[in-house]
């Protein structure tokens, strides 16, 4: 009789560990782009204020609960960026970045990853540019000797981009090292 609670705890723990095998840990903070009371998106940096950000729950890809909607409000001289930096990156790993993305105009946005070692950029990778339909984009990222990684949503801010929108959902950065 005394072994029954131990068996229950063992089964419960085994179930939790089995579940984590199927759902790898997302290394990004706030991948759902939830906003705080001030309307800011925690853990993400906006380098230009020429756009509006909104956490939306409609017109989503299948299986997603929410998305980020970015609308370009005015012209900017360079590409815009919304990014998150991860420091203290484990070296010699293989990471997988994936997301659902679409825009109101073809080729207006893409995801980019920058890797740095000791403050110096060592590699830059990017996904294909978005279309007007929800599509999955992916990148395989070998970290090598990098100690910092930046995930960026990059987008056009030229005169043709004004009033255009980009949606980003189901953003994941996971370790797929074998």
Bridge partner residues of 128 (DSSP)? none
| Choice among 34-48, 116-130, 155-169 with the minimum mean pLDDT | 34-48
Phi, psi of 9 (to 5 degrees): -65, -40
Which tokens is 51 given? 């756009």
Helix (H, G, I), strand (E, B) or coil at 147: coil
CA distance between the termini of the chain: 42
Tokens 């853990």: give the residue.
43
Please state the CATH superfamily assignment of the domain spanning residues 25-175 in this structure: Galactose-binding domain-like (2.60.120.260)
Rounded Cα distance, 164 and 70, in Å: 8
- Binning pLDDT at 50, 70 and 90, where does residue 3 land? very low
What is the pLDDT at residue 7? 35
Bridge partner residues of 101 (DSSP)? 135, 168
Taking alpha carbons only, the member of 138, 143, 134, 2 closest to residue 59 is 134
Phi, psi of 118 (to 5 degrees): 55, 40
Rounded Cα distance, 141 and 112, in Å: 11
- Binning pLDDT at 50, 70 and 90, where does residue 18 land? very low
- Binning pLDDT at 50, 70 and 90, where does residue 19 land? very low
Rounded Cα distance, 105 and 91, in Å: 37
How far is it between the farthest Cα atoms of the chain?
Answer: 74
Is the pLDDT score of 48 beyond 90? no
């Amino acid at each position: 009789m005394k072994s029954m609670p131990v068996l229950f705890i063992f089964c419960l723990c085994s179930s939790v560990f089995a579940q984590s095998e199927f759902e790898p840990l997302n290394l990004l903070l706030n991948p759902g782009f939830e906003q705080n009371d001030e309307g800011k998106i925690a853990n993400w940096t906006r380098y230009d204020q020429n756009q509006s950000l909104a956490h939306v729950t409609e017109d989503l890809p299948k299986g997603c609960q929410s998305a980020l909607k970015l609308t370009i409000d005015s012209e900017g001289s360079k590409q815009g960026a919304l990014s998150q930096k991860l420091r203290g990156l484990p070296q010699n790993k293989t990471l997988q970045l994936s997301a659902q993305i679409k825009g109101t105009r073809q080729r207006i946005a893409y995801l980019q990853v920058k890797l740095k070692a000791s403050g110096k950029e060592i590699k830059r990778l990017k996904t294909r540019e978005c279309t007007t339909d929800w599509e999955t984009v992916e990148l395989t990222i070998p970290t090598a000797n990098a100690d910092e990684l930046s995930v960026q949503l990059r987008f056009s801010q030229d005169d043709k981009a004004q009033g255009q929108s980009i949606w980003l959902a189901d953003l994941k950065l996971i370790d797929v090292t074998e």
